[in-house]
Amino acid sequence: MAAHILDGKLLAQTIRTQIAQETTELHSHTGIRPGLAVFLVGNDPASAVYVRNKKKACDAAGLQVHDYKLDAETNQTELLGLIEATNHDPTIHGILVQLPLPPQIDSRMILEAVSPMKDADGFHPYNMGRLLSGDPVFLPCTPKGVMKMIESTGQTIEGKRAVVLGRSNIVGKPVAALLMQANATVTVCHSKTQDLPSVTREADILIAAIGKAQFVTRDMVKNGAIVVDVGINRLDDGRLVGDVDFESVQEQAGWLSPVPGGVGPMTIAMLLSNTLEAAKRTAGR
Ligand code: NDP
């Protein structure tokens, strides 16, 4: 039987509608409107599209966007100064610095300059540490979205075998930490893992985040598994595909997220969710 499709677009829309309602409520009770500062440095076309989509989603949900569009020559001191100002601005509850940054700027230093209490992307080492210690403040958006998608299946995570393909700081590691926190038994695979199919075939829950087009094929998937595809890859013919070979795996998995229309929209919804949560914390709610 073909897998149930994990429709990230639909789920994200439901979450965004809920966020819009809570934003209106927060504003009418406290006068606080959640504010997100968005820093875009330079002219990278892909970054411009990501930022535009994030800003559109914020506007639709009633969040206030504070737009910092800076030219490609911006130096580190200027950017640090602006971030410091937003750290102290009480109308700003979340700060997003779109990556990549131009080469004259040290990305790590910039991400660490963002106040951990306004770190809407959840990339600050403080927030990574809080996540690993089991007491998170901000969760990184994509991993948080992946967990929401798994939860939407209605299946229990506790006691299940989960395999995470990829160990990056922004996806693989935090997804593994969240699954462990949800009491799954977690295995993390990477480019040095031996006999990968024998590991992935054990997974009740399989997360693919390696950036290799259609890498996960039917023979690598357990019958009935929940498969979440984080990958975004552009084929030579222009098509966008995930890390999972959708056609073959949908005959084997129980649930499968598509690309596009899977994790991508969830990532944006979680950015809004993080900003709203930060504003609520400010209001003591
Ligand atoms: P990285 O390139 O930072 O990490 C890739 C990981 O995959 C590494 O840990 C690497 O192992 C592992 N890997 C690479 N090749 C193999 C292989 N053949 N077998 C097993 N493991 C392998 O990628 P990201 O985590 O940043 O992103 C992963 C994918 O997710 C990309 O396609 C990206 O575009 C997408 N993405 C999507 C988002 C969304 O919102 N939908 C958000 C963020 C990312 P090693 O550590 O050994 O090198």
Q: Write the pLDDT tens digit of every residue in 202-212.
A: 999 999 999 99
Going by pLDDT thresholds of 50, 70 and 90, the confidence category of residue 1 is confident
| Spacing, Cα 165 to ligand 1 middle (Å) | 8
Q: Rounded mean pLDDT of 9-15?
A: 98
98 is catalytic: yes
Percent of the chain with pLDDT over 70: 100
What domains can you pick out in the chain, each with its CATH number? 30-121 (3.40.50.10860), 141-264 (3.40.50.720)
| Spacing, Cα 57 to ligand 1 middle (Å) | 26
Q: Rounded mean pLDDT of 152-174?
A: 98
CB of 141 sitting under 6 A from ligand 1 = no
Residue of 64, 118, 119, 121 marked catalytic: 121
| Distance in angstroms (rounded) separating the CA atoms of residues 39 and 83 | 9
> What number of H helices and E strands is found in the chain?
10, 11
Q: Rounded mean pLDDT of 146-158?
A: 98
pLDDT at 265: 97
Percent of the chain with pLDDT over 90: 99
Q: Which residue has the higher pLDDT, 28 or 284?
A: 28
Going by pLDDT thresholds of 50, 70 and 90, the confidence category of residue 169 is very high
Q: Rounded mean pLDDT of 99-109?
A: 96
| Spacing, Cα 155 to ligand 1 middle (Å) | 26
Q: What is the pTM of this model?
A: 0.97
CB of 170 sitting under 6 A from ligand 1 = yes
| Distance in angstroms (rounded) separating the CA atoms of residues 142 and 131 | 14
Contact indicator for 36, 92 with CB cutoff of 8 Å = yes
Conformational region of residue 75, where left means phi above 0, alpha means psi within -120 to 50, and beta covers everything else: beta
pLDDT digits (tens, 9 = 90+) for 241-261: 999 999 999 999 999 999 999
pLDDT at 285: 82
What SS3 state is found at 38?
A: strand
| Spacing, Cα 55 to ligand 1 middle (Å) | 25
Q: Rounded mean pLDDT of 270-276?
A: 98
Rounded to the nearest angstrom, the gap between the alpha carbon of residue 81 and the centroid of all alpha carbons in its chain is 27
Residue of 98, 214, 250, 252 marked catalytic: 98
User: Which ligand 1 atom lies nearest to the CA of residue 171?
Assistant: 25
18 is catalytic: no
Which has the closest alpha carbon to 144: 181, 99, 115, 107?
A: 181
CB of 266 sitting under 6 A from ligand 1 = no
Contact indicator for 59, 28 with CB cutoff of 8 Å = no
CB of 208 sitting under 6 A from ligand 1 = no
pLDDT at 31: 97
CB of 270 sitting under 6 A from ligand 1 = no
160 is catalytic: no
Q: Is residue 181's pLDDT more than 90? A: yes
Q: What is the mean pLDDT of the chain?
A: 97
The residues pairing with 244 across neighbouring beta strands, listed in sequence order, are 216
Report the run of H or E that residue 41 belongs to, with start and end. strand 35-41
pLDDT at 203: 99
* Cα pseudo-dihedral 217, 223, 225, 231, rounded to 10: 10
Q: Is residue 60's pLDDT more than 90? A: yes
Going by pLDDT thresholds of 50, 70 and 90, the confidence category of residue 69 is very high
Q: Is residue 59's pLDDT more than 90? A: yes
